[in-house]
Structure 1
Amino acid sequence: MTNSPRARGTDKRRRLTAAAAEVVHRQGAERTTIADIARAADVPVGNVYYYFKTKDDLVEAALSEHAGNLAAVTAELDALPDPLDRLKALVDGWVGQRDTAARYGCPTGSLATELGKREDGGLGEEVGRVIRLLLTWVARQFRELGLDDPDGLALTFVGAYQGMSLLANALRDPDVMTAQGARLTRWLDDLVAAA
């Protein structure tokens, strides 16, 4: 039995979105071409325009993919009963991606840096939306822990991740993620112990 045309179209769109997220992360938005994404998705270049009219539409789809991945990760972490364990598991997940971070940086952070320099600002604002999703989730964990200034703590926490990801990439050293992840975990323990 073959898939319906609608199912095949949905599959192509999904493959293009996933490929856009991967290729844009590896190459950056400016260096990525529609042909690069089509090749990675195994979709003829001419078909891409049926689903996405411009490269910016594909970059926006990549951001949506990152938001979806973040939602899946945080939903999985929300199954843990303790907010401190959730935050530590998030750090462990980041450290688990240390080789990718050392090679390409953080997918969202790298795009924020690149797209934030554009004059139009549209996609830069979309990147900010994805980062705000993470900040909101992290702040909720600090709030559940009963800590003062959960929004400020969330900025510090996410900023530490962005910093270690950027430095691991700039130095091409995954051990930066390992060492800074351990430091971030100790900081979490110290915060809770002091509360």
Structure 2
Amino acid sequence: MTHSVKPRARAADKRRRLTIEAARVLHEQGVERTTLADIARAADVPVGNVYYYFKTKDELVLAALSEHSAHLDELTGRLDQLPDPRDRLEGLIRAWVDQRDVAARYGCPTGTLAVELDKRADGTLDTEAGTVIRRLLDWTGHQFRALGLPDPEDLAVTLISAYQGMSLLANALRDPDLMARQGDRLLHWLDSLQSPDPTA
């Protein structure tokens, strides 16, 4: 029994390392420039072993997207512990600003991947990247709805668009301070949104 558990545990550990490193390396290098050998090297897994877990690079891209989704779940799960939806949205903005150095160097992990996948000839994985962004939009819209604000879905689009835009500009200009400045503007914008007065 002990002998069968250890190989399974080692296999799960290798797969996990490959998934984590796929998300990081694909973000830093892009899909087209990344090879399976790059990911194997980063995960400290023999390149021949990669094919045991992932038959193609596309499967590794899907694994990277699942890692982005897991990060999103972790972040929103932490933010959901805050009692006030406005505090949750502020926490989201601050989390983006905290990642400003990474965004300035490589862009938004999911956004850049979605754009790159959309330009591929086969066009099969771009919808998967869009699914992760859709989940963020849905979560954000839920917070605006909980605040009683009109057009919560449109407000969510405004907020996520602002994030994608400031990530893109910070990356293009290699300017992490741009993210910090725009994050402050988003916090002021959020504070300015008032729920309609039901007695008016």
Structure 1-normalised TM-score?
0.97
Cross-structure match for 1:59: 61
Cα distance in structure 2, aligned partners of 1:120 and 1:108: 19
Cross-structure match for 1:104: 106
Cα distance in structure 2, aligned partners of 1:193 and 1:28: 42
Post-superposition CA distance 1:121-174 (Å, at most 9, x none): 211000000000100100000000001111111011000000000000000000
Structure whose CA Rg is larger: 2
What amino acid maps onto 2:173 in structure 1?
A: L
Query: Which secondary structure state, in structure 2, belongs to the residue aligned with residue 122 of structure 1?
Result: coil
Displacement, 1:118?
A: 1.7
Cα distance in structure 2, aligned partners of 1:121 and 1:140: 30
- More deviation, 35-44/112-121: 112-121
Displacement, 1:120?
A: 2.1
Displacement, 1:193?
A: 6.7
Cα distance in structure 2, aligned partners of 1:193 and 1:182: 21
Q: Where do 5+ consecutive residues of structure 1 fail to align?
A: none
Number of matched residues?
195
The answer to whether structure 1 residue 113 and structure 2 residue 139 are counterparts is: no
Cross-structure match for 1:178: 180
The answer to whether structure 1 residue 15 and structure 2 residue 23 are counterparts is: no
Displacement, 1:194?
A: 6.9
The answer to whether structure 1 residue 136 and structure 2 residue 133 are counterparts is: no
Cross-structure match for 2:84: 82
What amino acid maps onto 2:69 in structure 1?
A: A
Cross-structure match for 2:167: 165
Question: Where does structure 1 differ by over 3 angstroms across 4 or more consecutive aligned residues?
Answer: none
Q: Where do 5+ consecutive residues of structure 2 fail to align?
A: none
Displacement, 1:113?
A: 1.0
